[in-house]
Chain A
């Protein structure tokens, strides 16, 4: 089975240790929910899997189908089928959104003459107006629009593993439902690592695995029942 396997991962940024030995499994076709208090290292983990050069891996491994991901460049990881939906997608002035989508798709999937039609169709599903495509990338998008645009890219690029870094935060209740339904649907073929603070999303999806992170470590793993426990008792009882 295609999966990302993380073992004993230690990471530092600016000489400061931020991950202290993380073990985690993300399997294609399954949903793994990652929760935990602010600053526990969830976003860092997402960025390290994708290869953000800001972080230095000091120990441990990340493997995808037994291949060492840490040896691959960011775009090579993307070409293997790994995708990161950003918590705060960056704005890039003057880069046309449609042009960006076509370039990304062509790089990852090859040419597709039907691509533009496909983009419009999926934007419609996400309630994103066509006028979006003429704007600069992520510029002048509302918080919710940025998140839906990240989701659009998941739908379009169909990765093998998608990491969703709090893309439900800042979404209104209808968008969260939409996200839940779309994720559930896509999870037949995509493996998700869903980082969230928001247990609303969990009304719509039933994760296969749930992990809780604190101080750069996974402190507890289990199935979806762990979520019920957190809902009732908060994180404190886990520590």
Chain B
């Protein structure tokens, strides 16, 4: 395997931006933040929240501990765009170019396969919203976050920004100032959502930032699985995606959050995801990152009360010119809490993967169990992978383990498979899909098929 060119054109769904109803000029100021809030007709508390966050954003420096973010020009980004004025529950009512894009992403198929409540996010706002009636009957709320603020103001106000404060980090502050769209989910006490809830996100205007804000609340004993998937077209200028995802799992609740992100290779993907898990609650992050120029993402779980559990399973794939700086945090604040972390990373064509993890055990949090396993698969000598497992253990009575492995794709494995009639590319695909099989097994079948396809597209450049 030697010289490799990566062709992203198969995923280039770039559509015209001519049909935007509202498109802000590039650049950010307090005035822009106020305008966003006003356009959305938001309550004062949200306007204030945005302004406070904007001030934090201005004060905080660009973080330098991770990947190179020095090339981001915040004045070169559009902070708000509205694709269409009206929202709809009917697929056929959507503008044709929007439908076309989503057809390519296979959303109607996903629906046919009865994944419930598809909520599609096009640009900054959710334009398509289809919640099955039986979910509503169970008292489940599943809508875009803008709608949630209008329809359920007290519920949103109680939780919004409580898991991730606007001052948490520079990009969480930016999101808090200019956020638009994202999903809001509330599952009432004891309700188990019978099917996974699903949303797709896309960036589709050159140089446009996307700042979705997702908030999931599982009340006592509730159970919900949420899936989001992203693809994006190729652009020459840098785009920024800075999302915030907050999850609250109350006593005995279970939340499983599945993400597959496949950003185009010019996107800075800087996401803050965090969950609070209360007594005996169980939170799972299942997170795949492909594409983008730089991804910094560390889905975290704060284990707040005894018996809380977390499970984080992630895949990162870095191709030419890409740096996936990903990992997780498990913060054990109570006794008898446990965390399991499994990370799989693949780098090729000079791509770079970094695992960055933190296990923290607070004094008094006895009988904590935590295990981390990081496996890296590296294709060539000019790709790179690093592991930075940080530990802050203030309680002796805890069981912490960390294992890591780095492997090159094996010549003998390729030869074995090729001797059975597989081409080099088919052999690579089989080995890579085997490497990440425990991740794929966590996905619903329709999504697993799509995910395997994305992996294969990424591997196409891997044959010399």
| Interface, chain A (partner B; CB < 8 A) | 50-54, 73-75, 77-79, 83-84, 86, 89-90, 92-96, 100, 103-104, 107-108, 136-137, 153, 157
User: Which one of B411, B416, B433 has the highest number of Cβ atoms from chain A below 10 Å of its Cβ?
Assistant: B416
Interface-central residue, B413, B415, B421, by most chain A CB under 10 Å: B421
| Contact B420–A86 (Cβ < 8 Å) | no
Tell me the bound Cα distance from A54 to B422 in angstroms. 18
Q: A53: which of B410, B415, B421, B433 is its contact (CB, 8 Å)?
A: B415
**What's the Cα separation between A93 and B413 when bound, in Å?**
10
B31 within 8 A of A: no
CB-CB under 8 A from A100, the residues of chain B are: 417, 420, 430
Do residues A89 and B434 form an inter-chain contact, with CB atoms below 8 A?
no
A99 nearest CB neighbor, chain B only? B430
Interface residues of B in 410-440 (CB under 8 A from A): 410-413, 415-424, 426, 430-431, 433-438
Contact among B410, B415, B419, B430 for A83, CB-based, below 8 A? B419
Q: Are B434 and A79 in contact (CB under 8 A)?
A: no
**Chain A residues with Cβ under 8 A from B411's Cβ?**
53-54
**Residues A92 and B416 in contact in the complex (CB < 8 Å), given A53-B411, A104-B421:** yes
The 3 closest A-B pairs by CB, nearest first: A94-B434, A107-B421, A94-B437
Kindly provide the distance from the CB of B205 to the nearest chain A CB, expressed in whole angstroms.
39
The A/B interface has a contact count, at CB < 8 Å, of 78
A73: chain B residues within 8 A (beta carbon): 418, 423-424
Given A90-B410, A95-B430, A100-B430, A84 contacting B419 (CB threshold 8 A): yes
Chain B residues within 8 Å of A, Cβ to Cβ: 410-413, 415-424, 426, 430-431, 433-438
Report the nearest B residue to A107, measured CB to CB: B421
Q: In the complex, A89 Cα to B419 Cα: how many Å?
A: 12
Whether the pair A52, B415 counts as a contact (CB closer than 8 A) is: yes
Which one of B411, B434, B436 has the greatest number of beta carbons of chain A within 10 Å? Answer: B434
Mostly, the B contact residues are: helix
In the docked arrangement, what's the CA distance between A157 and B438, Å? Answer: 29
Q: Which residues of A contact B431 (CB under 8 A)?
A: 92, 95
CB of A74 within 8 A of CB of B433, answer no
Report the bound CA distance from A13 to B22 in whole Å. 66
Instruction: Tell whether, in the assembled complex, residue A79 and residue B430 are in contact, meaning their CB atoms are under 8 Å apart.
Output: no
CB of B433 within 8 A of CB of A90, answer: no
The residues of A that contact B412 with a CB separation of less than 8 Å are 90
Interface contact A93-B421, CB-CB below 8 Å: no
> Contact at B416–A90, with CB atoms within 8 Å?
yes
Chosen A-B contacts, 12 in total, with CB atoms closer than 8 Å, are A73-B418, A75-B419, A77-B419, A78-B418, A83-B419, A92-B416, A94-B434, A94-B435, A95-B431, A95-B434, A104-B420, A107-B422
Beyond the given pairs A103-B430, A107-B421, A108-B421, 17 more chain A to chain B contacts, judged by CB atoms under 8 angstroms and listed by A's residue number, are: A50-B415, A50-B419, A51-B419, A75-B418, A75-B420, A75-B421, A78-B421, A84-B419, A90-B410, A92-B431, A95-B431, A95-B433, A96-B434, A96-B437, A103-B420, A136-B434, A153-B420
Known contacts A75-B421, A79-B421; is A89 also within 8 Å of B416 by CB? Answer: yes
C-alpha gap A138/B16 in the complex (Å)? 51
The CA-CA distance from A128 to B437 in the complex, in Å, is: 24
Please give the distance in Å from A167's CB to the nearest CB on chain B: 14
- Residues of B near A89 (CB, < 8 A) are 416
B418 to chain A, nearest CB (A): 4
